[in-house]
Chain A
Amino acid sequence: LAKTTQPISMDSYEGQEVNITCSHNNIATNDYITWYQQFPSQGPRFIIQGYKTKVTNEVASLFIPADRKSSTLSLPRVSLSDTAVYYCLVGVAGGFKTIFGAGTRLFVKA
């Protein structure tokens, strides 16, 4: 299972774009990259998943360079409600256990 490294915490202000980068140097060929969001006292919630290049949905964008050794979660125009812990996960799609890293605590200020 590929290990991931993320910044421990980040601060931002409302309306700004936030980019959280995750390093996964030993990612395997079949591994996907998935990001989750967790609010206090709640279970993690799926945000976005990708394999290469760029993926975008209604919540975020995920940028993955050609070597796939890192990825960047981009949150456009954050609000106070985006204050949460964000986890970057790397693993094979389907049927395999998921190991969580430490995550990034994002604080959005008014």
Chain B
Amino acid sequence: SAVISQKPSRDICQRGTSLTIQCQVDSQVTMMFWYRQQPGQSLTLIATANQGSEATYESGFVIDKFPISRPNLTFSTLTVSNMSPEDSSIYLCSVEGLLGVPGNTIYFGEGSWLTVV
């Protein structure tokens, strides 16, 4: 299995500011994703983080609002820009495809809980 560390785990942010969430995996993985989960709701996929190229965003999410980086096979960041209270949510990093390990189980980090005030 993979160990996924997210930072910060929790933060309170001021309206209009931006925050970058980091996701570090203890193994090289082929796929990394970012999800958002609003209180009481299911997970919504924001984007697929592509190594060395621009992320692939889902409908309703844009790069200007959620810039994503993935410089290597073990690390990615998600920035939530110009935050508003509607961005208060849990942001989850997930990975799939551990290099050298058969199977395709998806693993999730513990999430980063953001509250925008």
Binding site for B on A (CB under 8 A): 32, 34, 36, 41-46, 49, 87, 93-95, 97-103
Residue of A nearest to B111 (CB): A43
| C-alpha gap A79/B10 in the complex (Å) | 29
User: CA A36 – CA B94 in complex, angstroms?
Assistant: 13
A-binding residues in B (CB < 8 A): 4, 30-31, 33, 35, 42-45, 48, 90, 92, 94, 96-97, 103-111, 113
Tell me whether chain B's interface is mostly helix, strand or loop, or mixed. Answer: strand
CB distance from B12 to the nearest CB of A (A): 15
Judging by beta carbons under 8 Å apart, are A46 and B42 in contact? no
User: By DSSP majority rule, is chain A's interface helix, strand, loop, or mixed?
Assistant: loop
Query: What's the nearest-Cβ distance from chain B to residue A1, in Å?
Result: 10
Contact B108 A97, beta carbon cutoff 8 Å: no
Closest to A46 in B: B105
Show 13 A/B contacts (Cβ-Cβ < 8 Å), sorted by A.
A34-B105, A36-B106, A41-B113, A42-B110, A43-B4, A43-B92, A46-B105, A87-B43, A94-B97, A97-B31, A98-B94, A98-B96, A100-B44
Which of A32, A34, A93, A98 has most chain B Cβ within 10 Å? A98
From the candidates B92, B94, B97, B111, name the one contacting A95 in the complex (CB within 8 A): B97
B44–A41 CB distance below 8 A? no
